[in-house]
């Protein structure tokens, strides 16, 4: 959800034990998910039912070529290319919380991002 820190604090106080937030491990307060990551995740999960949920994100899962999709169903999405179930797939994650892998994406629709 998109809200202010004060609103989050009020929710936690009112509904303690009934709702959960992703917490910053050092500060023990709700962690903000960068808008770029959230928009990317929403883009991928809203345009296809053919996704593979990957669950918890490990550092190994995020190793690979960082790419941007330049055409097709997932145009504009960014992530890491990994071989999963025999196909090269785009893996999109949120703050090491969760990740999904798309269906196969044609190589001509992939542009390597140099960050």
Helices (H), the chain: 5-14, 35-47
pTM, two decimals, is 0.71
For residue 53, the surrounding DSSP H or E stretch is: strand 52-55
- What is the predicted pLDDT for the residue at 64? 79
pLDDT (tens digit per residue) in 82-112? 888 888 889 998 876 788 899 888 889 999 9
Query: How many C-beta atoms lie closer than 10 Å to residue 103's C-beta?
Result: 14
Query: Does the pLDDT of residue 48 top 70, yes or no?
Result: yes
- What is the predicted pLDDT for the residue at 70? 94
């Amino acid at each position: 959800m998109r809200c202010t820190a004060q609103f989050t604090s009020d929710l936690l106080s009112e509904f303690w034990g009934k709702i959960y937030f992703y917490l910053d491990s050092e500060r023990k307060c709700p962690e903000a998910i960068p808008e770029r990551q959230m928009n990317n995740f929403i883009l991928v999960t809203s345009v296809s039912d053919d996704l593979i949920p990957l669950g918890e994100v490990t550092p190994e899962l995020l190793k690979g070529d960082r790419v941007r999709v330049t055409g097709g169903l997932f145009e504009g999405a960014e992530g890491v290319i990994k071989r999963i179930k025999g196909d090269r797939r785009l893996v999109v994650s949120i703050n090491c919380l969760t990740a999904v892998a798309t269906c196969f994406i044609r190589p001509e629709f992939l542009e390597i991002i140099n960050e």
